[in-house]
């Protein structure tokens, strides 16, 4: 499973990237706001650091402007994936940008029907938002399962990029279902290393080791 980091925090990306945990990065207008950085500058910095796809999102609402913004964002670096929203205009922009050889990530997907349209429009990635469906008492993981079945039935190559990840369990459930990618905040990727029994076991080892009076170095 590929891990994308869902942030525009350069230091956080670098820490995970140095450990080989980063296969790509996703950003959006809210994450750019949170970073306090200029979109073009921070995106370029991330693209220079990470070899995999870096999603940068358009903000226009009409296809023509989305395409213009997407082409501008794509000039930042060869590993840019242009992110467009799952609207009819977004699908139009997806088709146009994908036809010119650009990677497109179609975001804000909340239904299997939307995901099917994105695949037909040539999206490289579809971003179903799990957490936001859970927030309104629907099941985000059901959506991942449905898209997996549909894409496999027809051999669509669009990668399922599970987004709006809120927990370690989300990551593991997506891996079990067979999502191609999860994009998660850095804190969730780091939290995957935690287990209460690891902490307890280490405490015991440290206590017993102290009693031996030995040193390794």
- Catalytic residue positions? 83
Alpha-carbon distance of 148 to 178, in angstroms, equals: 7
- For strand 159-162 and strand 54-57, is the pairing parallel, antiparallel, or unpaired? unpaired
Q: Residue 103: beta bridge partners? A: 81
**Cβ atoms 6, 31 nearer than 8 A:** yes
Q: How far is the CB of 148 from ligand G3P (least distance, A)?
A: 18
Contact between 180 and ligand G3P (CB under 6 A)? no
Out of 17, 26, 114, 124, the only residue in the binding site for ligand G3P (CB under 6 A) is 26
Residue by residue, DSSP assigns 173-197 as HHHHHT-SEEEE-HHHHHHTT--HH
Under the criterion CB under 6 A, does residue 164 sit at the interface with ligand G3P?
yes
Binding of ligand G3P by 6 (CB under 6 A): yes
Question: Cβ–Cβ contacts within 10 Å for residue 90, how many?
Answer: 27
Among 183, 186, 188, 189, binds ligand G3P (CB under 6 A): 183
Per CB under 6 A, 69 contacts ligand G3P: no
Check binding of 43 to ligand G3P (CB under 6 A): no
The nearest distance, CB 133 to ligand G3P, in angstroms, is: 10
Q: Which of 3, 17, 28, 115 binds ligand G3P (CB under 6 A)?
A: 28
Gap between the Cα atoms of 172 and 158, Å rounded: 21
- Binding-site size for ligand G3P (CB under 6 A) equals 10
Report the site for ligand G3P in 122-161 (rule: CB under 6 A). Answer: 127, 129, 131-132
Task: Give yes or no for residue 105 binding ligand G3P (CB under 6 A).
Answer: no
Please, are residues 79 and 47 in contact by the beta-carbon 8 Å criterion?
yes
The span from the CA of 170 to the CA of 172, in Å, is 6
Residues that bind ligand G3P (CB under 6 A): 6, 26, 28, 127, 129, 131-132, 163-164, 183
């Amino acid at each position: 499973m590929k891990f994308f980091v869902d942030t525009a925090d350069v230091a956080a990306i670098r820490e995970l990237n140095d450990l080989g945990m980063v296969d790509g990065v996703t950003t959006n207008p809210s994450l750019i706001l949170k970073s306090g950085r200029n979109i073009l500058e921070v995106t370029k910095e991330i693209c220079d650091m990470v070899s995999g796809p870096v999603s940068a999102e358009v903000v226009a609402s009409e296809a023509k402007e989305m395409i213009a913004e997407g082409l501008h964002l794509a000039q930042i670096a060869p590993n840019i994936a242009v992110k467009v929203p799952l609207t009819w205009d977004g699908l139009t922009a997806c088709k146009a940008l994908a036809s010119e050889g650009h990677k497109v990530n179609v975001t804000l997907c909340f239904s299997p029907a939307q995901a099917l349209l994105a695949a037909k429009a040539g999206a490289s990635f579809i971003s179903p938002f799990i957490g936001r469906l859970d927030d309104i008492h629907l099941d985000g993981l059901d959506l991942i399962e449905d898209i997996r079945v549909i894409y496999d039935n027809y051999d669509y190559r669009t990668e399922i990029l599970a987004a709006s990840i809120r927990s370690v369990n989300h990551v593991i459930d997506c891996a079990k279902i067979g999502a191609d990618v999860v994009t998660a905040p850095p804190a969730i990727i780091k939290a995957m290393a935690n287990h209460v029994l690891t902490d307890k076991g280490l405490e015991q080892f440290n206590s017993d080791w102290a009693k031996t009076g030995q040193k390794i170095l």
